[in-house]
Structure 1
């Protein structure tokens, strides 16, 4: 028997669902290896909180080292998550919260307890400005990450990334540790430095992204030798190496000032 094409046919019965209850979102099981990126982020948060505690106790050298450890972990967790294909919305939000604590709150508090605690209020104002700039930058990054516009050039950042901003704001501490002396700059200068680094993070200045740097194969051996030399210098002369690194990074920011590429805000 033929069917009139204009007459809707009887609806087909829906396929039966498989036996058992359907798996609800978020109930899938993850291996310990897949959770490793989030574990690194949690360790970084613990390092940042401990750095604040040590700063309040006056152990500034160890506190700065913990923030440096948090920066290393911050550079590892995202790449590890992509390598293990375990990226998640929760991990991204956790990483942003860790960045705000480790690079927006802890460095400013360390600088404040180290040199600005006796200032006439402007020291604490500088801490607040730096922290607000850090959280604004991270919020801008989250908005861009969730947007559909992926046309920006990932070879550049908009403004200074928050980990780099944290290292730059602690440059006076690096100099002091390298020279074996206490704070040697006036409080007002240190406060201005902190505010300037905060404004750099939310600026529109294009800054170089090392994540997309490509090394020609013929120059790879020289690059590896340079990395080995830098690591040896960091082990033997840690504070001087950090000072030179910060100065070199400021140099790259100055060089990039005339350029106007389409840039991203990633950290």
Structure 2
């Protein structure tokens, strides 16, 4: 019996999965930073995880190195980075003394994030996803929405977090994640005449993020929430 020939793959094809694993490391490290009360680094690591999450799949498609393992790994990373990590960071930040309501809210958020990702995976395999919109708030956006109270407190010195409203807030964000509301997707098409204003807005946002990170992150959350009714209206008009 002859041995199987060894299968070799280009080293660069490992890059997308390496980025996904790097995102997991960033998410878990965000929890560690929160445990040390270094919430600025926690948020920075979660943003890094979100950036890596947005890039790994695109790079895999460019390199033509998509795989079933990569898809499963990406979904597991999302549960850690955008489900568990934000919930634990918020719990350490504002709800550590509220061991009942705060922890229940954190669990509700994590469960909703997991259910949302499972629904997305099923839709992707069955080919039933509407590529113009997401159904419910996607996991990375949900994580940024959940962190809105932290962004606001950092932007407004002296603002003391109240555990009860924050617990209610992250439970509501979890509800938005598993909802059937259409939410904006980067695959949405816009008129060509809007391309330059959109690029200018992105450049201004990047400059604001560098100069006023906390206020910009909170403002981005507000704009995202305001975009949901617009996506709902757009979907209804396009379906007629």
TM-score over 0.5 (shorter chain): yes
Match of 2:228 in 1: 253
1:13 aligned partner: none
Equivalent pair of 1:103/1:162 in contact (CA under 8 Å): yes
Say if 1:187 and 1:94 are closer, same or farther in 2 by CA, change over 3 A. Answer: same
Counterpart mapping for 1:204-215 below 5 A: 204-214=180-190
Scaled by the length of structure 2, the TM-score of the pair is 0.92
Equivalent runs, 1:65-144 vs 2, <5 Å: 65-144=44-123
Q: Which residue number corresponds to residue 9 of structure 2?
A: 30
Structure-1-length-normalised TM-score:
0.83
Once the two structures are TM-superposed, the CA of residue 161 in structure 1 deviates from its matched residue by 0.1
Cα offset, 1:21, TM superposition: 5.2
More helix by percentage? 2
1:193-227 deviation digits (Å, cap 9, x = unpaired): 010000110111111112334451x4433333222
Q: Distance in 1 between matches of 2:35 and 2:19?
A: 25
How big is the shift at 1:29? 1.8
Instruction: Report matched runs for 1:117-266 at 5 Å.
Output: 117-147=96-126, 150-184=127-161, 186-214=162-190, 216=192, 218-258=193-233
1:259 is displaced (CA, Å) by 6.0
1:153-198 CA-to-partner distances (Å, cap 9, x unmatched) read: 20011100000000000000000111123533x3211111010000
Could you list the per-position Cα deviations for residues 82-106 of structure 1 after superposition, in whole angstroms to 9, with x for gaps in the alignment? 1110000000011011100000000
Distance in 2 (CA, whole Å) between partners of 1:80 and 1:230 is 24
Among 22, 27, 34, which residue is 1:43 paired with?
Answer: 22
Query: How far did residue 244 of structure 1 move?
Result: 1.0
Alpha-carbon separation, structure 2, partners of 1:197 and 1:106: 15
Q: Is the CA contact 1:112–1:124 (under 8 Å) kept in the aligned structure 2?
A: yes
Contact kept in structure 2, 1:104 and 1:131, CA below 8 Å: yes
Give the match's secondary structure for 1:143.
helix
Could you list the runs of 5+ residues in structure 1 that have no partner in the other structure? 1-19, 262-267
Larger radius of gyration: 1
